Every structure is written in structure tokens, then in C-alpha cells.
Amino acid sequence: MKETECFIKLIPSVIVITCYTGYLALYIIITKTAELGIINATWSSASTLTIAVIFYNESVSILKILGISFILIGTAG
């Protein structure tokens, strides 16, 4: 959302709106078969790391991967 500059830039704004729409559609579909706690924890941890690496060129370290893994294991257990 930061890249849209308050939705003034067209291309980043379209990307953000498209991603949020896709997320909402997938969220609705997935909530029919899985528990909300698992969905929310998985989505927030995996998407945060993915966005940080792809769009903000953050490094991927073993500690980050380990942290995400612990979150996913904790919610699945």
C-alpha cells in the first residue's frame, strides 16, 4: 500500500486492489474447510516473509525460515 502513495499511482493501486480481492476470495473458500486460527497464522507469517523478500529485497536467513516454520508447526499442532 505504501507504493500506491494513497492510491494516486495507478499501476500499484491496481495491483493492491487485485491482490486484496484475490486474498478475500481465497480466504472465503478456505474458511469453509479449515479453522480460522490456522488460516490466519499461516497467511500472516508466510505472506509477510514472501512480500518482504520479493518487493523489498530483504534477505532470507535461516532464522527467518526457522521462525516461520515454528509458527506453521505451532498452528498445525
Q: What are phi and psi of 33, to 5 degrees?
A: -120, -15
Which residue is associated with the grid cell 500472516? Answer: 44
pLDDT 10s digits, 12-52: 888 888 988 998 898 888 888 888 877 887 777 777 777 88
Check whether residue 76 and residue 41 sit in a common domain: yes
Would the pLDDT of 1 be above 70?
no
Residues 68 and 41 both lie in one domain? yes
Contact 39, 62 (CB under 8 A): no
How confident is the model at residue 21, as a pLDDT?
93
Output the pTM of the full model: 0.53
Are 51 and 73 within one domain?
Answer: yes
Q: Do 75 and 50 fall within a single domain?
A: yes
Same domain, 40 and 23: no
Whether 46 contacts 70, CB under 8 Å: no
| H-only helix segments in the chain | 10-30, 36-56, 62-76
Total number of domains constituting the chain: 2
